[in-house]
Structure 1
């Protein structure tokens, strides 16, 4: 199965697509304190749940969502129609790094998608190109809760310097020219809810679709679960930073 389709199915029961719950997502968006007619950009939007929540909180705002997954964007379009948001949300099927716009944005999101740019620092440089000077960025990134052992790095296909610890992650953001105005650090409970939903949603779909695709989905769910439970659980953390342009 296509990996993008697997990811889309796996996020059905946790559409936020990050180890964050509804209350914290809303708190992060409210802390942005956007102007009424704000322009919002979500780079790597997936099913665009963050985008739609922002539009619901700021009913005069408009948004662009960008993603490479056709399945996720098709789902996002249907959900936007159901929630009456179609007229205020534009979806773009292309790589986040290739997106261009004629006007800057008040809020740029990139949550759990910094890999699209090659890492946190590169993502923040890319975000700056889209951001109004007084705008804000909401960026979700992994960090090491504790030094990862070699076997965990091997399972993740990661290098030790791919992530920093929490303090180092904040420093990386501020070294890129941003000031941190708020953040949320995901808890173990947040992670467990996210991972059990990810693997469970994919497993349920696999059992309902016997055949080659179902077999592939079930194998992906079991491999992911093993990598989490026997690999990065309590080692890989996640923080969502609310940032403004500024010096340290």
Structure 2
């Protein structure tokens, strides 16, 4: 089974593909209020962009992703929610997507790897942003220095992620400043991880005769074991609402502090 299909199954009961509760997703989208246009880079099945469109009845919204299956599900969900006239989805590499730069809110939650890292994501996302607009960026960080078990479970290197203070420094060095943020809580992580492995396991148990069933249940078992014995309490996730701290004042053409 390919990774896109596995991801779809794993997130069946947790469509927000990040360790964030529905309540906190709603708070973040409301705080990032934009009534004109919203762009989600690496939208997956579209939950963030759909919720942004629901919260902002006057806004148009666009999601970009490479997965055909995820985008089909996103389009179906937009029709089911009655907002398909305001939400569109583009299949393509987020690094190659081009726009007129008129989006008041650009989101990239849990997909900064698609650009090669946080700094590259900030640079690329800003190209789509209208003057005075905001970025909503979600990325992982080390809650505490990772040990070998955590690194092995994640297939990671210590240099792959930063501490939260260092991550914020990177954001500010790139010319952005946080105006709001949410650090995923242990309960949100637990709910996300149990849902991820549990959804795969349930699918495998309900489809025992499928050729992929044994593989899927093993993927779920390894993932759960890696979380419980490796990176639980080590891997963190933060979602930041950002404004450009050195954006030009477009009316007078000088740098704003």
Using the size of structure 1 for normalisation, the TM-score is 0.96
Query: Who wins on radius of gyration, i.e. which is larger?
Result: 2
Of 130, 133, 137, which residue of structure 2 is paired with 1:132? 130
Structure 1 unaligned runs (5+)? none
The yes-or-no answer on 1:153 pairing with 2:141 is no
For 1:49, the equivalent position in structure 2 comes to 47
CA distance in 2, matches of 1:196, 1:155: 16
Q: CA deviation at 1:151?
A: 3.1
Q: How many residues align?
A: 246
CA distance in 2, matches of 1:228, 1:24: 22
For 2:221, the equivalent position in structure 1 comes to 222
CA distance in 2, matches of 1:71, 1:219: 23
SS of residue matched to 1:78: helix
For 2:238, the equivalent position in structure 1 comes to 239
Q: In terms of mean alpha carbon deviation, does 100-109 or 184-193 score higher?
A: 100-109
Q: In terms of mean alpha carbon deviation, does 101-110 or 184-193 score higher?
A: 101-110
SS of residue matched to 2:17: coil
Using the size of structure 2 for normalisation, the TM-score is 0.92
CA distance in 2, matches of 1:194, 1:151: 20
CA distance in 1, matches of 2:85, 2:5: 26
The yes-or-no answer on 1:29 pairing with 2:29 is yes
Q: CA deviation at 1:217?
A: 1.4
Q: CA deviation at 1:107?
A: 0.5
- In the TM superposition, structure 1's runs of 4+ consecutive aligned residues that sit over 4 Å from their partners are none
Q: CA deviation at 1:206?
A: 1.2
Structure 2 unaligned runs (5+)? 247-256
For 2:171, the equivalent position in structure 1 comes to 173
CA distance in 2, matches of 1:214, 1:64: 34
For 2:204, the equivalent position in structure 1 comes to 206
For 2:250, the equivalent position in structure 1 comes to none
The structure in which a higher percent of residues are helix is 1
Of 187, 190, 197, which residue of structure 2 is paired with 1:189? 187
CA distance in 2, matches of 1:41, 1:239: 19
Query: Are the counterparts in 2 of residues 152 and 231 from structure 1 also a CA contact under 8 Å?
Result: yes
CA distance in 1, matches of 2:175, 2:152: 32
Q: In terms of mean alpha carbon deviation, does 203-212 or 172-181 score higher?
A: 203-212
